[in-house]
Structure formats: C-alpha cells, structure tokens
Chains A and B, each alone.
Chain A
Amino acid sequence: MTDRPQRLRIADREFHSRLIMGTGKFASGELMAAALDASGAELVTVALRRANLTGQADPFANILEFIDPKKYLLLPNTSGARNAEEACRLARLGRAATGSSWMKLEIHPDPRYLLPDPVETLKAAEVLVKEGFTVLPYINADPVLAKRLEDVGCATVMPLGSPIGSARGIETRASIAIIIEQARVPVVVDAGLGAPSHAAEAMEMGADAVLVNTAIAVAADPVRMAEAFRSAVEAGRAAYEIGVAPKRREAEPTSPLTGFLDEA
C-alpha cells in the first residue's frame, strides 16, 4: 500500500488522469482533438513553435484552437530550444500568448536523439521558477539532476524512458526507480513509451504519471490507442496502489506446503 494520495497533484492542481498527452505528429487537428478526448487526459502539452505567439489568430498556425481550455490545462513546451536562453525567451512569449504559466521545459540541442541538456535545463529551470512559472522539466533519467531540479523549485521531474518517439519503453528503469524513491515532487515518465504495457510498467514502478505522444499520434487508430493507454495507466496505477507481488526466483505454490498446520 502507499500513503500517496489517489489523485495526481502537481503544484496547486489536482488531476484525475495520470496520462499527460502530447500533441505533435497527428495527421490533423481534428484527429488530435478526438484522441485527447479518448485519453481522458487533463494536462496537454503543445510545442510553442507550432503556435502563433503574436496574440493574433492565424489560420495557418492554429494548433491551440483544437485544445479546449475548459477541458484541458495547457502545458506549453519549449521544444526547439537549444539552450537556456532560448528556452526562457520562448517560455515568456508562450506565457504572454497563451496565458499559461505552466511550462514543460525541453532543451535538446541534439536534433537527432532529442536528448535533454542537463546543464542548460537546470539553468533555465532556476530562472523560470523565479519568474513564477510552474516548471516541469524533461530530463534524462539522472537521479542527482532530478534532486537538483526539485531543489530549485520544479513542480515535477520528467525523466525519459528512452529517446522521444523511439517506442523502446523503459530502458532507464534502474535510474527511474531511484528517482521515484527519492522524489518529493511527482515523477512523470516521459518519452519512449511505445506500447500501453510500457505505460503500465511505469505506473507499477510508482511513477506518478506518464506522458505519451508518438505512440498514440502515429497509431493506425489514434483514438482507440488513446483509450488503450488510458486503461493501461489506470491499471498500472491501481496495481501500484494495491502493491504488486515481489518477483521471486523460484515458484511459490498457491497451496502452501505448511497449510496443514492451520487445519483443524
């Protein structure tokens, strides 16, 4: 059993859903909206570089129009930024344009594997927290970095399971286990979750939430895949709260051998 609250709490907000959705790679805005609905997500991340940040409506950069602000808390992200300075600038423009001070901090200078830069992420997190942002940083599964980010006031840490879009699942399992064990803020496993079973695995490990994008967006049927992830996250979380049986090397009979001692 766990004494953690049933609901996910990030900063001052509570969420029923522990599935956070990304909005990239969908074949259309309509399909994305339908998948978001099916996922049950309440927190949705959007790349600010896709949105119009001038404050004026733009039919050619209208991704935000597909995300109903009454249903979802918008979590803009700084993807595209290669250093702290770019990320902070984008975050400020994003807040001005969207009104959201929640920010998924993403700084990946390497466009090939999109692996996050720990040095620049910590630097930017410190600045943005001081400026009043609720910062959710995307990081490699580095337990020390996670603590440092927590110390500067980040609302969560978001370690990757494997590179973005790779669908390789939780390759960083041992480090994520340490991060979960040590965390005082919610741990969101982000990136690389390619199948509902990966999401369930993260939740069974004790992750507070997962973020999924590619696996749903590029599925043949994104809406049904969103439902599948939703179920997996719920199942994984329930198993974690109930307590998953520890693994053993040998078989354990379901009828104990010493059971006769208790017989009348």
Chain B
Amino acid sequence: MKLDQIAIAEKATAADVEGALSRSRRSLDDFAALISPAASQPVYLEEMARQAHALTVRHFGRVIRLFAPLYLSNECINICKYCGFSRDNPILRVTLTPDQVQTEAAFLRQQGFRHILLVSGEHPHFVSDRYLGDCVARLRPEWPSISLEVGPMETEQYRPIVEAGAEGLVVYQETYDREVYRQMHTSGPKKDFDWRLETAERAYEAGFKRLGIGALLGLAPWRGEALALAAHCQYLLRRCWMAQLTVSIPRLRPAAGEFQPLVPVTDREVVQLVCALRLMFPEVGIVLSTREPAKLRDGLIPLGITMMSAGSHTEPGGYTGQGRDELHLTKGGRLVKPPRPAIESEGEHATVQFEIADSRSPSEVATRLQEIGYEPVWKDWDLALNET
C-alpha cells in the first residue's frame, strides 16, 4: 500500500469521490477516495449504497447464504488483549470431543444450516491438526460445506484437513497495523504478524477452496485497516485465483477482559466501508456475523452482504450444553480447581468469545430475509465438490 493512498483516504476531495463513483473498475486510489470523510457526505453515501446494491444483486442475486459457527474449544495459548479467550483471562474453558461436536452440529442441522464454520482458540495440544481432521471427518457425511476458523498452520498440516472434507478457511489479520498488532498480541504464536498474514496462501496451497480474510475494527484507525484489507484482497485475487474470497469487518464486542475499543467505528462508517468494499470488489463475498445488531444487519444486507450467520453461540457447547461436565477454570494459562458449586449449578457453560448483538433465531432471520425480498440459501455447495 502506498502512503499516498492513506492521504487520499483522509483528504480526498469531492472530485476524487465523484471520479471513483463514475468508474466501473476501480483502483486502490479510488477505494481510498470511497472510504474518505468526503465520501461520507449523505449525497455520496447514498450514491455508493445505490451502486453497491445494484452490483451485489447482479453478481450474487437476491439471495443470502446462511451459516453457523460451531465453537470447538476456547483453550488458547495466545494473549490477545481484546479477546475473551485470551490465555490470561480467568475463564471456564473446554474442548469438545468429536462426539460432542457431532451433537452440537446435529442441533444446527435441525435448524436448517448446511454450512458450518468450526471455530476455536489456538492450542496445538487441545486443538491439533489431527483433532480438527477428526472433527471434519465426523461432520462430513451430513455437511455439504465445512469451514474452519482456527489457529494458523503449515500447509502440510492443512492438507489432511482438506482431505477430510473441509473447504473453507477463515483467518482475520485482526489489525494490519504492525505496531498496534505488536501491542495487542503480547504472547503466543499469534505474535508473528507475517505468519498470520500468509495463512490464506498456505491454505490455498493445501487445497482450501474458500478463503476468508478480515480486519477486527476498533484496534487501529479504520481507514488504514480498510486500505490494507483491500490491498490484501487484491493480492489474493491474483495469487489465489481459484479460491472464492470473502471479506469481513467485525467490530469489537464486549468480552471477558473488558477490553474497550481503542478507536470506535460508527454505524455510518461500517456502512461506508461495506459499500466501498462492494464497489471495489464486485465479485467478492462479504460476511456479516451476529456481532452487529439486528437493525444494522437488516440495513446492510442490500448493500453488499452475501453471507450471514444467525442464532450464533460463541462458546463451545453453546447450542446443546455439550462439554459442560469437563469445564475447567484457567488463570494465567494454568488450571485452577473449579469451584464445585459454580460448575454444578444449572446452566453453567464455557465462557463466550464475545457477546453477540443479534439474538434472533435462524428461522427469524430467514423470515426477515424473505420479508425484505431475499431468499435465505441454506445449501449452496455439495460434498461432491470437496472430494479430492
């Protein structure tokens, strides 16, 4: 990314914005103009939204693909200041067995989901490549599409997981600002910025067909994050040309550790960024999670969203209570004997990664989609396409 693109993002003129709006294929300079304060003027934002809507409908149709996250484990060896699973947080942790994962997945399948995202903290012992392969193999017969959002691995570690039936890999850089990244990630393998940055390429080499990247908004000034994300996206489109690319721009949510966003991002800015991403990348999927509240989610759908989660739980065992008997408390990464009454009490569960904001059930979300003229698509992939 050139430094002058950051300057454009901050100081673009009305003429720059109009130029960017008038082109059908846009450069990174145009993208910078579209995320500038000048472009946030109501007249331009409305025009961006109009164009973003038209492009999304043309490329993706009036459909939204639904998926559900399934948390496998909240064990983690990293210290990340903003994350509920951070090693130094004294929280209740558990890693589900493949049997328990299957039970959780069966519940999601009953609700309609056919696309699942397996999520976990980074812990090579509890969440090994072999364990992930076992979970994927277990789910494969029932799930046409299985994606992972887990700690980055080597290409050779990914291959057996792909062979087991996984087709997508999601890894967010969190922040593309190296200095902020260093401050946020103080311990564990996640400290290595470049190792994380190159994950999508290693996953592609290993045979993953869908790659998801993103930035966690709230850590560094969002315009810089957006530019870096767009540059990363542009690079991956050329480098990993056979992969279906998705981007996501989650905002920080309340979590254990009580971390507060360093640079809050407003709803208006989220809208501007979704529109700018769509205008820059007409064919790239944009994913929206339950981190955002229902009203904003509904409003963002026509502007560029192509995939949504619904009814999510962000703790292992969150859907059916699996793993409740194996909960344990860790403090500073060390096991603490759990206070028995707490564990035995009704409704005790592992600690969430973050609090969700849209608590509507999957069927409520599907109904809402239909009300606003979109078809909820539960199945858009087939096992036959996974076998390699």
Contact = CB atoms under 8 A, between A and B. Distances in A.
A51 B62 CA distance: 18
Interface string A96-120: 0000000000000111110000000
B242 A49 contact: no
B291 interface: no
B239 interface: no
Contacts of B373: 27
Contact of A61 (B61, B62, B114, B375): B114
Interface residues of B, number: 33
A27 B62 contact: yes
Contacts of A218: 57-58, 61-62
Contacts of B378: 60-61
Nearest to B244: A111
Given A26-B375, A27-B375, A58-B379, A89 B384 contact: yes
B62 A89 contact: no
B114 A167 contact: no
Interface string A209-244: 000001001100000000000000000000000000
A184 interface: no
A165 B370 CA distance: 23
A172 interface: no
A50 B375 contact: no
Interface in B371-388: 373-375, 377-385, 387
Most chain A CB atoms below 10 A, which of B379, B380, B383: B379
Interface string B332-374: 0000000000000000000000000000000000000010011
Interface stretch (A11-19, A80-88, A143-151, A196-204): A80-88
Given A49-B380, A52-B379, A80 B62 contact: no
Query: Main secondary structure on chain A at its contact with chain B?
Result: loop
A60 B114 contact: yes
A86 to B, nearest CB: 5
Interface string A22-45: 001111110000000000000000
Interface string A52-64: 1100001111000
Contacts of A90: 382, 384-385
Contacts of A53: 382-384
Nearest to A24: B61
Contacts of B384: 48, 53, 86, 89-90, 93
Contacts of A165: 58-59
A177 B183 CA distance: 62
B63 interface: yes
Interface string A139-170: 00000000000000000000000000111000
Contacts of B114: 60-61
B63 A111 contact: no
Contacts of A113: 283
A29 B61 contact: no
A50 B377 CA distance: 8
B362 to A, nearest CB: 10
Q: Which of A27, A51, A59, A167 has the most CB of B within 10 A?
A: A27
11 contacts: A27-B374, A28-B375, A49-B385, A60-B378, A61-B378, A80-B381, A82-B242, A82-B385, A109-B242, A166-B58, A214-B58
Given A27-B375, A111-B283, 7 more contacts: A50-B377, A61-B114, A80-B385, A82-B242, A90-B384, A93-B382, A110-B242
Q: Which 7 A-B pairs have the closest CB atoms?
A: A25-B61, A61-B379, A27-B62, A60-B378, A60-B112, A90-B384, A111-B244
